[in-house]
Structure 1
């Protein structure tokens, strides 16, 4: 007489041991692609269709690993070809990519073992900005393409800044508001907005007006157009002491306030509170998509005459 195995064996009082198992689930996904598409773009299509982040995908064809910046045609991939996809179980890092030239911020997911070149390929696939035409900056430093995020100590939640045309670099000096002079590697084709973005990654706060030899520099113009050279010294202009008018918008209404650009955000909130009765702790101020922090001045956010600042009121969670 045979004995059935007990599905719940007892082990003399010992706890049941937990083990990890992996299930191999095979699924075929059809995509319409162009033979000149890069592997990075194909990964983006898979992400869109299946919800698998690009950074967790590894694609293979005929046993060869496909790099993000290579094209379908480079690997002899044609109609009805089958690619094999391996999905990593590594948790992705969420990174913010700031692209000042087009005034856009995007989120990408990456792994700590990804290189800077991998991130640039993700940006190329997402925003159609060729990897060869831009560099990435973090904390004021240009990132070397062959270094990994782990090596560079870049963690989830970090912001990387895109600057264009990294060839032909030279050094300029910039005098900060506290009198400190910093050196920066730049390119003649960088716009003033690009330079401000680099400075923001160093200073940690938005930069207002940049000047050279007492003249204000326009954001949209390049260093070349402003005749900036390696011996030039740029300065961050101090906030204006002059009184100017700005507008606070809330609930479809617009209210004018007289302020100094050197005033703190907290001081502006106090002015709003004294006029409207809204407590300071309940006010949230936004300008050009950025939340204004109490301890910073208005000029640091680029607020100027006739600017519109949006007010929202938070009645829950009083500080």
Structure 2
């Protein structure tokens, strides 16, 4: 006994092939399916007549047909006539290496290069004045028509991003103040440091210029330009003294009595380490005194480098109260009297 198969009413059936007529200066018959898109129809016309798809506009009963729609969406049946109008439209590919993007633009041959730049600005946010358009190794001028540029579909335009020549940057000087500096994008970091030395009196050889990148402070290379290191208008840079933890300095420790001790210290020495050295020389208990440099208290954990302690400078000992511990006797019988 033969089994009877039941067709699923929701299963898509193969589309029946039929003909439509596209009216140009001449009429062309195309074999199509109702599921073909308008873009597919344009491809067929392009293959037969050599008319670029971007130059084709199709109409049916006065309705403009959209590329992604299907023939069935417009009830275009067998032997229907579709009108073709040839325009000066074209699609170009634009590569932007600086941001790693390639975009496609629908333009007209009668558009100027400046119009393309405006479209690029709208699509990816690169200002027109910062764009240089290159095609086949040559720079395109803003007033050129695309029809004069001999563009081909298989060869893309390239966009070079040219930053504004003049920049204003802000430099935070060792966390104490922020200064505004007018520079040009082709200045090197060494040039900027020299400008700051002239205005602020800080020697360039002992300082580095840094910027914060992804939450990390990065030292800018001396001989490279601001443009090479992606410094932009209104960026904030930081000028800090070079960290030389093993650099030794001679420091005078001035006591409350006006006496001075000469000590050789490392810039990496902490306040605790300095106080231990002082305690070994003066036999003073911890907590009785604190250290002060140029009016600033050296807090716990601070290094000499943090306070920019200079060679042959003076650190003052300040008493926390009036109690002074007498020097320890060597023989244990009491301190000698004057």
Same fold (TM over 0.5): no
- TM-score, length-normalised on structure 1? 0.31
Q: Which protein is bigger by CA-based radius of gyration?
A: 2
Higher strand residue share: 2
TM-score for both structures, normalised by structure 2: 0.30
